[in-house]
């Protein structure tokens, strides 16, 4: 008929069926429009090593087992003790280690190959600072001897005698097992914290006593290595990287080495 509105053809059966199904899902089942359009939440454990699904004590156990089995690590960060704050940057492996330790007064380098331990520092590290309690005060014979000895040792790799009191102290900074066992200690009931990233590595936090007893970040990709540890009581934060990355330990050149032989002068670092 003239003047009649054009007739819109009905949708094909397949299109009509799809429309009905869509209405049934989003309207007929009383689901909100936002619920239908929203994307599903991603699985936080997708693409991970799965430790994030475990309870906190199990995560810590897995992390310690991974660390115990590792052949090498780089440990850096700060340590706070009664003696002050120390900065560490040590590469450690079975049989030795190398790196630097910085105290409030000095920076010194350590190198250990098997039982051979070397210490390298400026002359000031080796100088007695006893405020006049030895050698008749500043300028005394003992002080002059100390200055002379310090001048010979400064800037050299000084081989630390195994019988010297300093040997065990400095040896501990180069011992992978000793450092990891002593520094990654957690105090209190463990619980899981947030998932985050440390140095680009996806991690999950394990915290002791709600964080007051230490917070350990454990890798969620690859082996569950410890990646970062905030020590209890604000006693420093350590980063652990380059797990199982081997490195060379070589004795220093003879021209740069001093074998002191007897007991070392007392440093003030």
CATH architecture of 51-248: Clam (2.50)
CB atoms under 10 Å from CB of 147, counted, come to 14
Q: Is the pLDDT of residue 122 over 70?
A: yes
Q: Is the pLDDT of residue 17 over 60?
A: no
**Least confident span in 18-22, 42-46, 208-212:** 18-22
- Kindly report the pTM of this predicted structure: 0.76
pLDDT at 31: 43
Residue given tokens 């797990």 in the structure block: 243
* Residues in a beta bridge with 201: 198
pLDDT at 39: 62
The pLDDT tens digits of the residues spanning 143-176 come to 676 677 777 888 999 999 988 888 998 999 999 9
Residue 137 token pair: 């005060």
pLDDT at 245: 96
Report d(CA 105, CA 169) in Å as an integer. 17
* CA-derived radius of gyration, the chain: 31
* Cβ contact 108:120 at 8 Å: yes
The pLDDT tens digits of the residues spanning 195-226 come to 999 999 999 999 999 999 999 999 999 999 99
pLDDT at 151: 79
Is residue 123 very low, low, confident or very high in pLDDT (cuts 50, 70, 90)?
confident
Q: Is the pLDDT of residue 183 over 80?
A: yes
Is residue 71 very low, low, confident or very high in pLDDT (cuts 50, 70, 90)?
very high
Is residue 136 very low, low, confident or very high in pLDDT (cuts 50, 70, 90)?
very low
* Cβ contact 98:174 at 8 Å: yes
pLDDT at 140: 56
- Average pLDDT, integer, range 234-258: 94
Segments making up each domain of the chain, as ranges: 12-39, 51-248
């Amino acid at each position: 008929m003239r003047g009649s509105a054009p007739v819109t053809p009905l949708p094909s059966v397949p299109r009509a069926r799809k429309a009905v199904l869509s209405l049934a899902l989003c309207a007929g089942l009383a689901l909100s429009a936002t619920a239908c359009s929203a994307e599903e939440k991603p699985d936080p454990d997708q693409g991970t090593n799965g430790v994030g699904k475990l309870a906190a004590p199990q995560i810590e156990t897995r992390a310690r087992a991974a660390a115990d089995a590792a052949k090498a690590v780089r440990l850096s960060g700060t340590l706070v003790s009664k003696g002050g704050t120390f900065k560490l940057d040590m590469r450690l492996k079975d049989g030795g280690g190398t790196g630097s330790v910085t105290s409030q007064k000095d920076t010194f380098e350590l190198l250990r190959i098997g039982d051979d331990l070397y210490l390298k520092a400026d002359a000031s590290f080796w100088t007695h600072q006893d405020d006049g309690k030895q050698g008749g005060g500043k300028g005394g014979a003992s002080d002059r001897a100390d200055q002379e000895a310090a001048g010979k040792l400064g800037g050299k790799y000084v081989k630390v005698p195994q019988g010297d009191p300093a040997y065990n102290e400095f040896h501990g900074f180069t011992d992978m097992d000793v450092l990891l066992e002593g520094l990654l200690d957690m105090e209190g009931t463990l619980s899981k914290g947030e998932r985050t990233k440390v140095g680009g590595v996806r991690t999950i936090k394990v915290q002791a006593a709600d964080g007051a007893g230490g917070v350990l970040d454990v890798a969620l990709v690859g082996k569950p290595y410890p990646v970062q540890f905030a020590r209890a009581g604000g006693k420093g934060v350590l980063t652990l990287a380059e797990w199982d990355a081997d490195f060379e330990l070589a004795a220093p050149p003879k021209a740069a080495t001093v074998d002191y032989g007897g007991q070392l002068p007392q440093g003030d670092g």
